[in-house]
Amino acid sequence: MNTERKYNRTLVLIVMMVAAIAGALMQTSLGTAIPTLMTAFNINLSTAQQATTWFLLFNGMMVPLSAYLANRVPTKILHFVAYILLFIGVLISTLTPEHSNVWWLFVVGRIVAAIAFGIIMPLMQIVILNMYAPKERGAAMGMMGLVIGMAPAFGPTLSGWILQKDHTILGLTLSNDWRSIFVIPLIFIVIAIILTPFMMENVIETKKMKLDFPSLALSTVGFGLFLWGFTNVGTDGWGDFTNVVFPIAAGVLLILVFAWRQLKLPVPFLDIKVFAKKDFTIPTVALILAIMAMYGVEMMLPTYLQNVRGLTPFHSGLTLLGGALFMGLMSPIAGILYNKVGVKLLSFVGFSVLALGTLPYIYLTAATPTIIISVLYAVRMAGIALVMMPLTTSAMGALSDDKAADGTAANNTLRQVSSSVVVALLTSVVQNTITNNLPASSMKVTDPIKYADKALNASMDGFQVAFIISMAFAVLGLIVVLFVKNDKGAE
């Protein structure tokens, strides 16, 4: 930790939070807009979700590199470059023409933004760990939770509001077009770029480090192939060897080679030895399960609300607003409670709330009142808030200060890769379930009413499978936290 501090920690934190808001909005704002994008680009659900899965994957792939960059490049310069890159990525997606043949360009913009965000978020954690003493980290990480929790939680509601009709904000007209959902993130990015030269400081001491390019290649190609295989399941099915089985198997093999290489290198690209410390590993595993449980509902719910319930993008986003508010309210409180009662009890309560809030989703129908869906979503997000920051703080607190960057990189790599995998997996499962249960196309002519009814049931079958998987992750998390050491931030 930087003990000779000659800068204002609050100003540094403000700049990072402004940029993090932009990146976090980019991460989940498309949830509500997926049906709109499907129509605009004439693509199916599986293809549209690639905008999310590839964002999460490249975000995860950049995290190991972030540890190297944080120690090699001055903090101010690294932040400035990352913010510029984020701006470019968002702009590419915003300017993509509406045609299925150029959908890849939209995804490229998402990938560029993900590369930037993959640097920004881990760097934010590393800077906080360097700026604040252990007893202060709970509150600081709680503020960070306010950003990475509320911003993506508000994303679907904000997107739906924008897509409902034209709006004018500070003289700027936002049309009810999917491109407009990127305007607000762009504004936050520009603000962060302007503030960085004046408010950001070189918090982390730089040192000469050699970048291991074979490790970078192994991790990039390995994780890329792994997710590509999962992404193709929705369109090609599990039996496709070329596009599904081979990429997944090859990806796993390269990841194993990557891990073996890290154990042999004197200075590893990603120090996986941090997982030898169980007080770091167990909270990290629990955290991953919480994130996978969160995505199990969060990514599927907007599509269910619009395609099954017939809600507008705005009203589907509004249904999720209670969850955003609860997430924001509980994140700072969770940081305080962590110092009072410890991570074990807090996480157990959080996972219990998450599981109880998820269970009713398994029994959703096409007629379930939206108020019930909204209340359950708020309960789930409150549970997520109770576990995310305390588990992250507990895991990082188990490592010495000199291992903070490595621990952050390892923790975030698993989080982002697991997020991308669960989104790809659930999307493919939902798509396959719907496809397999759809009635014969000939019924559209012979009995259109019966066809519509069976098609609706097929969609519900798909979403219910996703909710069951989400419930399973919550239950597993409840079991894992029983083995978490009950440390407190104040200690």
- Tell me how crowded residue 367 is: count the other CB atoms within 10 A of its CB: 7
Q: What is the pLDDT of residue 142?
A: 65
Distance, in Å, from the CA atom of 231 to the CA atom of 243, rounded to the nearest integer, reads 9
Sign of CA dihedral 372, 302, 237, 248: negative
3-state secondary structure of 3: coil
Beta bridge partners of 173: 168
Query: Is 207 a residue whose pLDDT tops 80?
Result: no
Query: Is 34 a residue whose pLDDT tops 70?
Result: yes
Percentage of the chain lying above the pLDDT 70 cut? 84
- 312 burial (CB, 10 Å; 0-12 / 13-18 / 19+) is middle
Q: What is the pLDDT of residue 491?
A: 43
From its phi and psi, is residue 2 left (phi > 0), alpha (psi between -120 and 50) or beta? beta
Percentage of the chain lying above the pLDDT 90 cut? 6
Tokens for 184, please give them: 């607000």
Mean pLDDT of all residues belonging to the chain? 78
Give the mean pLDDT of 382-398.
81
| Cβ atoms of residues 48 and 33 within 8 Å | no
HEC string of 334-380 equals HHHHHHHHCHHHHHHHHHHHHHHHHHHHHHCCCCCCHHHHHHHHHHH
Q: Which residue has the tokens 């796993």?
A: 252
Q: Which residue has the higher pLDDT, 181 or 84?
A: 84
Q: What is the pLDDT of residue 168?
A: 56
Backbone φ and ψ for 167, nearest 5 degrees, come out as -135, 150
Give the mean pLDDT of 456-461.
75
Q: Which of 12-26, 75-89, 166-180, 289-303 shows the lowest per-residue confidence on average (mean pLDDT)?
A: 166-180
Q: What is the pLDDT of residue 27?
A: 67
Q: Which of 384-393, 407-416, 457-466 shows the lowest per-residue confidence on average (mean pLDDT)?
A: 407-416
Give the mean pLDDT of 240-253.
88
| DSSP secondary structure of 410-445 | HHHHHHHHHHHHHHHHHHHHHHHHHHHHPPPTTHHH
For the chain, how far is it from start to end, CA to CA, in angstroms? Answer: 17
Query: Is 85 a residue whose pLDDT tops 60?
Result: yes
Give the mean pLDDT of 423-432.
75
Q: What is the pLDDT of residues 145-196, one digit of tens each?
A: 666 656 655 666 677 677 766 555 555 555 567 787 788 888 889 998 998 8
Q: What is the pLDDT of residues 262-298, one digit of tens each?
A: 888 887 777 778 787 888 888 888 888 888 888 777 7
Q: Which residue has the higher pLDDT, 319 or 169?
A: 319
Q: What is the pLDDT of residue 254?
A: 93
Q: Which residue has the tokens 């595993």?
A: 285
Q: What is the pLDDT of residues 393-425, one digit of tens each?
A: 778 777 776 676 677 777 777 777 777 777 777
One-letter identity of residue 334: A
Q: What is the pLDDT of residue 246?
A: 92
Q: What is the pLDDT of residue 2?
A: 46
Q: What is the pTM of this model?
A: 0.71
| Cβ atoms of residues 220 and 58 within 8 Å | no
Tokens for 169, please give them: 């904000």
Nearest of 416, 477, 440 to residue 54 by alpha carbon = 416
Q: Which residue has the higher pLDDT, 105 or 141?
A: 105
Question: Sorting pLDDT into bands at 50, 70 and 90, what band is 488?
Answer: low
Give the mean pLDDT of 136-152.
65
Give buried/exposed letters for 395-411 (b at 16+ CB in 10 A, else e): bbbbbeeebbbbbbbbb
Q: What is the pLDDT of residue 419?
A: 74
What single DSSP character describes residue 165?
Answer: S
Q: Where are the alpha helices (DSSP H) in 237-311?
A: 246-264, 278-298, 301-303
| Cβ atoms of residues 188 and 21 within 8 Å | yes
Q: Which of 85-89, 182-186, 306-310 shows the lowest per-residue confidence on average (mean pLDDT)?
A: 306-310
Share of the chain residues as helix, strand and coil, in percent rounded to the nearest 5: 80, 0, 15
Query: Is 250 a residue whose pLDDT tops 90?
Result: yes
Q: What is the pLDDT of residue 401?
A: 66
| Cβ atoms of residues 309 and 428 within 8 Å | no
Q: What is the pLDDT of residue 1?
A: 45
Question: Sorting pLDDT into bands at 50, 70 and 90, what band is 476?
Answer: very high
